[in-house]
């Protein structure tokens, strides 16, 4: 009561000052990692637990390390339940200690009844700004309706970009880029999910590349509805000016029903090429993983997507890629490792640029689904992944794995 009387007496100017002090404390608390959920020492932490923070479910993790060394863990905060459409926000928690503890949850993009999802963050190497590309659709339509062409352009899948200039503390309002990255006739559209790529070497160094996917409308006269998996395809979008303008890169548009590339992720190899790994959305090819290479920064593919049989243990699910830095700079991949179930999150390594992978570590036998990868430091691999005891969508855990232990682990 004493504080309230003092504020009233101070007048409007003092109230403004008091509010600024509170805001400053909030930012400082965030930077110091309050409201953290740590377990098992610093080996594991849990930034998101479904049913807390005002959200029924958290899904679709994405993580990047900023120029300042901060980890930014993005997710979809789904208010109404587990459904992929509806009232969904993009949320964020920050870690200043390599993923051991996390600051308070913040809303980066509010759905306000609509769907904001598929976060694809990347750090611009020229400025250090965090660029976030996301997807949108009206909360009044479902994915099935969009695939069947029953949604208007305003209701359907659209693409937006945001920027943070202060290490992820705040983001600009979403700016739409749909017209430059989505072809007429495409129905579904999804960025990532998972972190995007900033090219570090080669002719296109500095380019930001976002792996994405789409669905096409059936040809004129077809009796297909558009929901058939054969109409899915991968593509990439890229920016050469730090995310201010965007172009459509390669487009996988074979739609032959054998290799249905969907939910793509990418990494730049030491030789400068981009390696893309995609989910095979119920294609007739054996296995659930596809891959392809690009030698021109994502503008075109060297050849069409093909099956990656060294990942045949992976079920139908998204997976994540990361090209490690340092002496042990292998290409690593994360995904569940039970072919018939979303369970047993595992890590695979490739010493030959993705031509073949070997499983090196299973994190847990628990249920598991989507994931993303980051290097908190030169000696550690970080895995941000969906997991739980009964379902894969109970929490999003962050696991820290010393690289020396990763390569020492027996092959499963």
Encode pLDDT of 188-201 as tens digits: 999 999 999 999 99
First to last CA, the chain: 63
Give pLDDT, residue 37: 59
Token readout for 277 is 């790994």
Beta-carbon count within 10 A of 335 CB: 29
Decide: pTM greater than 0.75: yes
Token readout for 2 is 């004493």
* Per-residue pLDDT at 209 exceeds 70: yes
What are phi and psi for residue 375, nearest 5 degrees?
-105, 105
- For 45, the enclosing helix (H) or strand (E) is strand 44-49
Enumerate residues 6+ apart whose C-beta is below 8 A from 390: 367
> Which 3-state string (H, E, C) describes 166-196?
CCCCCCCCCEECHHHHCCCCEEEEEECCCCC
Quickly list DSSP for 59-128: EEEEEEE-TTS-EEEEEEEESSSS-SSSSEEEEEEEESSTTSS----EEEE--TTSEEEEEEEEE-TTT-
% of the chain exceeding 90 in pLDDT: 86
Give pLDDT, residue 409: 53
Please state, rounded to an integer, the average pLDDT across all residues of the chain.
90
Dmax (CA) of the chain: 75
For 122-173, how does the pLDDT look when each residue is reduced to its tens digit (9 = 90+)? 999 999 999 999 999 999 999 999 999 999 999 999 999 999 999 999 999 9
Give pLDDT, residue 407: 73
Sign of torsion over alpha carbons 107, 113, 116, 117: positive
Give pLDDT, residue 18: 35
Give pLDDT, residue 34: 43
% of the chain exceeding 70 in pLDDT: 88
Indicate the pLDDT class of residue 329, thresholds 50, 70 and 90.
Answer: confident
Give the angle 104-342-108 at the CA atoms, nearest 5°: 25
* Per-residue pLDDT at 26 exceeds 80: no
Go through the domains of the chain in sequence order and give each one's CATH number: 33-408 (2.120.10.10)
For 1-19, how does the pLDDT look when each residue is reduced to its tens digit (9 = 90+)? 333 333 333 343 333 333 3
Over residues 317-333, the mean pLDDT reads 89
Token readout for 116 is 């904001």
């Amino acid at each position: 009561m004493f504080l309230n009387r003092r504020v009233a007496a101070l007048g409007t100017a003092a109230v403004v000052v008091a509010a600024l002090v509170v805001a400053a404390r909030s930012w400082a608390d965030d930077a110091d990692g309050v409201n953290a959920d740590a377990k098992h020492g610093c080996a594991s932490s849990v930034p998101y637990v479904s049913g807390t923070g005002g959200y029924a479910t958290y899904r679709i993790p994405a993580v990047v390390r900023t120029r300042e060394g901060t980890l930014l863990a993005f997710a979809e905060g789904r208010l109404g339940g587990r459904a992929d459409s509806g009232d969904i926000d993009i949320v964020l928690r920050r870690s200043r200690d390599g993923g051991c503890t996390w600051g308070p949850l913040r809303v980066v993009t509010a759905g306000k009844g609509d769907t904001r999802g598929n976060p694809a963050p990347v750090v611009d190497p020229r400025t250090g700004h965090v660029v976030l590309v996301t997807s949108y659709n009206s909360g009044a339509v479902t994915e099935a309706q969009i695939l069947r062409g029953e949604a208007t352009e305003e209701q359907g899948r659209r693409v937006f970009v945001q920027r943070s200039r202060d290490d992820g503390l705040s983001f600009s309002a979403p700016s739409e880029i749909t017209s430059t990255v989505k072809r007429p006739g495409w129905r579904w559209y999804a960025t990532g999910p998972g972190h995007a790529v900033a090219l570090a070497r080669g002719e296109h160094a500095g380019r930001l590349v976002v792996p994405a996917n789409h669905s096409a409308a059936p040809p004129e006269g077809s009796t297909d509805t558009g929901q058939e998996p054969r109409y899915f395809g991968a593509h990439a979008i890229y920016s050469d000016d730090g995310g201010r303008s965007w172009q459509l890169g390669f487009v996988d548009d074979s739609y032959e029903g054998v290799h249905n590339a969907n939910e793509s992720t990418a990494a730049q190899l030491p030789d400068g090429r981009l390696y893309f790994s995609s989910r095979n959305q119920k294609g007739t090819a054996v296995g659930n993983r596809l891959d392809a290479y690009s030698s021109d920064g994502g503008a075109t593919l060297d050849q069409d997507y093909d099956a990656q049989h060294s990942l045949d243990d992976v079920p139908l699910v998204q997976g994540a890629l990361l090209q490690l830095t340092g002496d042990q700079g292998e290409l690593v991949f994360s995904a569940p490792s039970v072919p018939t179930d979303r369970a047993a999150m595992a890590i695979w390594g490739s010493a030959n640029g993705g031509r073949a992978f070997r499983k090196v570590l299973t994190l847990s036998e628990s249920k598991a689904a989507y994931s993303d990868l980051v290097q908190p430091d030169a000696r550690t691999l970080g895995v941000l992944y969906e997991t739980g005891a009964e379902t894969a969508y109970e929490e999003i855990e962050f696991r820290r794995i010393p690289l020396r232990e990763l390569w020492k682990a027996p092959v499963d």
